[in-house]
Amino acid sequence: MWYQICRYQKELFRCLVLGSVFLLAGCASTLSARVTSFQQWPGNAQGETYRIVRTDPQKNNLEFEAVADMVRANIGPTGLVEAQSGKARFDLHITYDNPVTKTWVQRYNDPYLNDGWMGPAFGGYYGGFSGWGWGGIYMAPSVSNFPVDIYNNTLTIVINDNRANNAEVYRSSAVNQSSNDNLLQVMPYLARAVFDRFPGNNGQVREVQYERQR
C-alpha cells in the first residue's frame, strides 16, 4: 500500500513540474505572437514596387538574406512587387533580434530527487491521508522559484514612401516569446504576422496564432 501511494505521488509531482514548463512554453503545435502596427498607407499603392534597403552590417550577410526571403514570401497582402532594377516607390527596412530576459517560474519540488520521502522538501503537516485512513500524516509538496531565460524573438518591418518625401507609411513589429534560442525557426511565422490583416488600424495591437508546420 505504501509503495503504491509513494509511486502515485511521485508521478503526480513530476506531472506538476512538467505542467509548469508547458505553461511557459505554450502549446507545441501552435505559435503565438503579439503584433503592433502603425500605418498611413496610401490608397494608390496596388502594384507599386518596393526594394529592400540594407544597412552596412546586413550587406553580404547570408543570415539576413534568408530572413529577407521569408519577408518576400509573406509580402503579398501589401500588393507591392519587388523592383528588379532601378528606383522603387517604397523602401522596405528589416530589423530583427531576440534579446534575452530573466523571469521566475514556480515549480513543485520533487522529494524523491531532492530530499527523500521525509525530507524538508515536502513540508509535511498533519491531518491528511496516511495510506491507512484519514487523520494521519499528509506530505504536502513545497514550491520553489527558478530562473528561466526568455527570448523575445522580434521582427520589425518599416516601409517608407519615396513619393511622399520618404515618409514612413507602415511600421509593424511581431514579438514571440520562447524559452529557447530559436529566432530563425520562428521567423517564417513572424514574417507572416507583420503583414497579417495588412494594413490594419493605426496603432493596433493584436495577438495572432498559427499552427506550426511539422
Q: What value does the mean pLDDT take over residues 183-198?
A: 97
The grid coordinates listed for 128 are: 491528511
Beta carbons within 8 Å of 79's beta carbon, 6+ residues apart: 45, 46, 47, 48
Is the predicted pLDDT of residue 127 greater than 70, yes or no?
Answer: no
Percentage of residues of the chain with pLDDT beyond 70 = 72
Least reliable range by pLDDT among 125-129, 178-182, 200-204: 125-129
CA distances from 127 to 13, 115, 124, 135, 143 (A): 20, 22, 10, 5, 20
CA distances from 12 to 16, 26, 78, 82, 141 (A): 6, 20, 51, 56, 10
Residue 102: what pLDDT?
Answer: 80
For 22-62, write each residue's pLDDT tens digit. Answer: 444 444 589 999 999 999 999 999 999 999 999 999 999 99
Domain boundaries, the chain: 2-211
| Alpha carbons 128 and 88: distance in angstroms, whole number | 74
